[in-house]
Amino acid sequence: MEEVPVQVAVGLQQVSDTGDGHSAFIEAKDSKSLSIASRNSGGEKSHSFTFDVVFDPDSEQERVYLELVRPLICKARTGYNTSLVVSGTHTGSKARLLLGDELQTGIMHKLLKDLFEDLELNEEQKTLATVSHIQLHTDGSALDLLNPHDRTMRCVQHPVLGLVVEELSEFVVGSCEEAWSLYRQGREAERLAGDLADRCSSLFTVTLEQREVSAGVSVCRSSVRVYELPGSAGNGVSPLKRAVDEAKIHTEPGLGCTDALLSQALGGNRCSVLISFLHLPESWPGEAALALSLARSAALLTNQVRQNRWDPPELTQKLRLHIRQAREQLGSGKDVSQQEAEHLAQLVHELQVVKKQRWEKKRFQSQHCRAERKQHLIAKGFLELALKLTCSEQQRVQLAEELRQTQQQIREVKERLKNEVGAYLKAEHGDESELEVIIGNIQQLQTRLKQSESNLKGLRHKQDQLHSATRAGYEGSPSAESEIDLLYATGLEKRKCLEEENMALIERELSKMDEHRAEKVKLIQRDRETERDLCKYTQNTSCLFPLVKLLLGWNPDHSLWTMLTIPRYYSKRDRSLAANSNTVILAFDVVSYRGFQTSQSASLDSKCL
């Protein structure tokens, strides 16, 4: 564990004279401090504040990114959770910071690009990246922006994974362009809140899980969260104040997602950065001074952070062991308290959460979410966004898959080239024919490497073109396609899915019928074999009946004599035991008129015989 302070940057917007006898202005003393002053008939009042960075939003966003945001990426790559909180009173300034404009590239695209480039350069680890986008409402509820379903989302605290949002759709991504496209689509879907959108916060999350290729199954887990708080003065300060207050008291998550997620914006096990945009209000004392005081309170926060690493199989085995012990305790017949029952339910829930973290499960769930999100968007009235998804998402995903395969080929060629160079160095003074073969292999690998790198460069160029088209608003979708055509295509796709599901159901039922029929055939064959054995052994052991009758005594009413008695096969071990103990074992099966009922054994000492 280590202590990490919350870093704060403030972006200033100069405001001229208010025109009502009051003049006010904000002055940046240097790159880390500023003063806010107002002048009226009663004189001049001034306050000073110090932060990590004080910048001009119109020209110094790059400095903010390099000094505060870029280090968050390095932390996330090494297994630390990070948060970027963008708040303030200027909606336009926040949009330019996150999305960029014609003069500056937004920090969101820079963040995603640098994050995925760093991951691609690390050839010693396998990585699974997922993204989610959620809208937080003032009443504590939330909306899944990437898959706007109607299921209730709930925040739960897991002892290993931390805060988990149940029913939140996570999409597996393999490149910066995929993550950037989903972020843009989530921002477009924010309009689902209608008039309340200006009072809602949003949270975009990138979750990373990294696994060493040469090591075991230990996973390094981290997340990058980007909070965007509302833009107006009253609405912009309120969520930030809640985040600061709840970070101080370490609020436990409940049923509401808003309070639980805001409590970890600037607190918890996270390295956090706050970027606040301000402009001078029309009166003094005003909201700018209050916002600066709140930003200063955030700068005084300190979080206890640690690297997040866990072993899924080990944790699963441990939870199953605890569940088995708890069930044995509950089934022992003793009085069970409500606390013990709740503890068992909690263990079962934790195990379910852990099982959902499997990479195969996440990939499958991501495909399911992609399939149903189009229908949800159409149901919510977002035909245009659904049309963009239909036309461009497949192209983007296909391009990302080609890029991933090319990068994998480059890594494999580099590894083979490294081995061949090592073999050449070892055989440098050996046989010339062997050296010629190794040199030929090296030359071929170098040629393949150049070709793969050329292909990689071409794919990256296509990604840049696709990104430029996305920023310009051209997704390559046919504008002539009408809403009726889209609904018709969606209906056909839904019908196709239903047909596939029905066919799968029919195949499962037919398979069950085949299994049942095969089981009945086995039973019939076993009964026939039993009948043959009965006939065979009845003929061979008829001489034992008088002996058994003598031993047990003749009683016509005894249930034994209403059945047929036959001996069974002895194993070698049974025969040896019988010989060593000087006993004769009469093992027989008791068969009723309806079939086999039970089996009994009788032994008689040889001396008695």
- 274 DSSP β-pair partners: 8, 85
Q: What is the pLDDT averaged over residues 50-77?
A: 89
- Angle at Cα 14 formed by Cα 10 and Cα 19, nearest 5°? 140
d(CA 338, CA 13): 58
User: Are residues 27 and 87 both part of a single domain?
Assistant: yes
Q: Is residue 13 part of a domain?
A: yes
d(CA 226, CA 73): 12
For 104-116, write each residue's pLDDT tens digit: 788 999 999 999 9
d(CA 4, CA 80): 11
Q: What number of residues does the chain have?
A: 609
d(CA 122, CA 73): 14
Q: What is the pLDDT of residue 100?
A: 80
| Confidence grade of residue 590 (pLDDT, cut at 50, 70, 90) | very low
Tokens of 98: 């996150």
User: Are residues 230 and 321 both part of a single domain?
Assistant: no
Helices (H), 33-166: 61-64, 70-77, 91-99, 107-121
- Angle at Cα 258 formed by Cα 256 and Cα 262, nearest 5°? 130
Among 228-237, 405-414, 424-433, which stretch is predicted with the lowest mean pLDDT? 228-237
Q: What is the pLDDT averaged over residues 331-355?
A: 84
pLDDT surpassing 90 at residue 44? no
Q: CB of 182 within 8 A of CB of 131? A: yes
Instruction: Using a cut of 0.95, tell me whether the model's pTM lies above it.
Output: no
| More confident call, 599 vs 281 | 281
Percent over 90 (pLDDT), the chain:
18
Name all contacts of 241-246 with Cβ < 8 Å and 24+ positions apart: 241/294, 243/85, 243/267, 243/298, 244/294, 244/297, 244/298, 244/301
CATH number at residue 433: 1.10.287
d(CA 461, CA 293): 46
d(CA 475, CA 497): 26
User: Are residues 97 and 46 both part of a single domain?
Assistant: yes
d(CA 500, CA 504): 6
User: Are residues 303 and 428 both part of a single domain?
Assistant: no
User: Are residues 178 and 73 both part of a single domain?
Assistant: yes
What are the E-state strand segments in 192-317?
201-212, 219-228, 271-279, 302-305, 309-310
Among 17-21, 162-166, 270-274, 424-428, which stretch is predicted with the lowest mean pLDDT? 17-21
- 87 DSSP β-pair partners: 276
CA distance readout (Å), 184 to 109, 146, 338? 10, 10, 47
Exposure of 173 in the CB half-sphere (CA atoms within 13 A): 27
Among 28-42, 266-280, 427-441, which stretch is predicted with the lowest mean pLDDT? 28-42
Q: What is the pLDDT of residue 413?
A: 87
Residues of the domain holding 460: 382-473
For β-strands 271-279 and 82-88, DSSP reports them as parallel
Q: What is the pLDDT of residue 274?
A: 94
Q: What is the pLDDT of residue 225?
A: 96
User: Are residues 373 and 387 both part of a single domain?
Assistant: no
d(CA 259, CA 243): 8
Q: What is the pLDDT of residue 428?
A: 67
pLDDT surpassing 80 at residue 606? no
Q: What is the pLDDT of residue 596?
A: 38
Q: CB of 134 within 8 A of CB of 167? A: no
For 284-319, write each residue's pLDDT tens digit: 446 677 788 888 899 999 999 999 988 888 899 999
Q: What is the pLDDT of residue 102?
A: 66
Q: What is the pLDDT of residue 106?
A: 85
Indicate the number of domains in the chain.
Answer: 3
CATH number at residue 236: 3.40.850.10
d(CA 335, CA 66): 61
For 421-464, write each residue's pLDDT tens digit: 888 777 766 677 787 888 888 888 888 888 888 888 888 777 66
Domain end marker among 473, 489, 505: 473
Q: What is the pLDDT of residue 597?
A: 39
User: Are residues 360 and 452 both part of a single domain?
Assistant: no
Among 157-166, 204-213, 379-388, which stretch is predicted with the lowest mean pLDDT? 379-388
Q: CB of 24 within 8 A of CB of 45? A: no
pLDDT surpassing 50 at residue 573? no
| More confident call, 358 vs 527 | 358
Q: Is residue 297 part of a domain?
A: yes
Q: CB of 575 within 8 A of CB of 568? A: no
Q: What is the pLDDT of residue 92?
A: 72
| More confident call, 512 vs 20 | 512
Q: Is residue 131 part of a domain?
A: yes
User: Are residues 279 and 364 both part of a single domain?
Assistant: no
pLDDT surpassing 80 at residue 165? yes
Q: CB of 21 within 8 A of CB of 40? A: yes
What's the one-letter identity of residue 603?
A: S
User: Are residues 305 and 359 both part of a single domain?
Assistant: no
Q: What is the pLDDT of residue 396?
A: 64
Q: Is residue 600 part of a domain?
A: no
User: Are residues 66 and 99 both part of a single domain?
Assistant: yes
What's the one-letter identity of residue 277?
A: F
**Radius of gyration, alpha carbons of the chain:** 36
Q: Is residue 603 part of a domain?
A: no
479 class by beta-carbon count within 10 Å (0-12 exposed, 13-18 middle, 19+ buried): exposed
User: Are residues 269 and 410 both part of a single domain?
Assistant: no
Phi/psi for 282 (5° steps) reads -85, -10
Q: Is residue 539 part of a domain?
A: no
pLDDT surpassing 70 at residue 38? no
pLDDT surpassing 70 at residue 599? no
Of 479, 462, 457, 485, nearest to 395 by C-alpha is 462
Q: Is residue 359 part of a domain?
A: yes
The string over 426-443, giving b where at least 16 C-beta atoms fall within 10 Å of a residue's C-beta and e elsewhere, is eeeeeeeeeeeebeebbe
pLDDT surpassing 80 at residue 482? no
Domain end marker among 458, 473, 488: 473
Q: What is the pLDDT of residue 538?
A: 61
Q: Furthest-apart CA pair in the chain: how many Å?
A: 130
Q: What is the pLDDT averaged over residues 101-106?
A: 75
What's the one-letter identity of residue 399?
A: L
Q: Which helix (H) or strand (E) holds 412?
A: helix 383-426
Of 203, 221, 116, 130, nearest to 173 by C-alpha is 130
What strands, in cross-sheet order, belong to the sheet with 33-40? 23-28, 33-40, 43-50
| More confident call, 311 vs 599 | 311
Q: What is the pLDDT averaged over residues 542-546?
A: 53
Q: What is the pLDDT of residue 544?
A: 52
For 132-145, write each residue's pLDDT tens digit: 999 998 888 888 99
pLDDT surpassing 50 at residue 153? yes
Q: What is the pLDDT of residue 7?
A: 95
d(CA 471, CA 101): 9
CA 555 to chain centroid, in Å, comes to 73
Q: CB of 203 within 8 A of CB of 133? A: yes
Q: What is the pLDDT of residue 525?
A: 80
| Confidence grade of residue 327 (pLDDT, cut at 50, 70, 90) | confident
In this structure, the number of other CB atoms found within 10 A of the CB of residue 117 comes to 12
pLDDT surpassing 90 at residue 76? yes
| Confidence grade of residue 557 (pLDDT, cut at 50, 70, 90) | very low
Domain end marker among 323, 358, 377: 377
| Confidence grade of residue 236 (pLDDT, cut at 50, 70, 90) | very low
Q: What is the pLDDT averaged over residues 375-404?
A: 66
Q: Is residue 609 part of a domain?
A: no
Of 52, 65, 64, 50, nearest to 4 by C-alpha is 52
Q: What is the pLDDT of residue 281?
A: 53
CA distance readout (Å), 479 to 11, 174, 391, 532? 40, 29, 11, 79
| More confident call, 276 vs 214 | 276
Q: Name the average pLDDT for the chain.
A: 75
For β-strands 142-144 and 125-136, DSSP reports them as antiparallel
User: Are residues 160 and 109 both part of a single domain?
Assistant: yes
d(CA 464, CA 446): 27
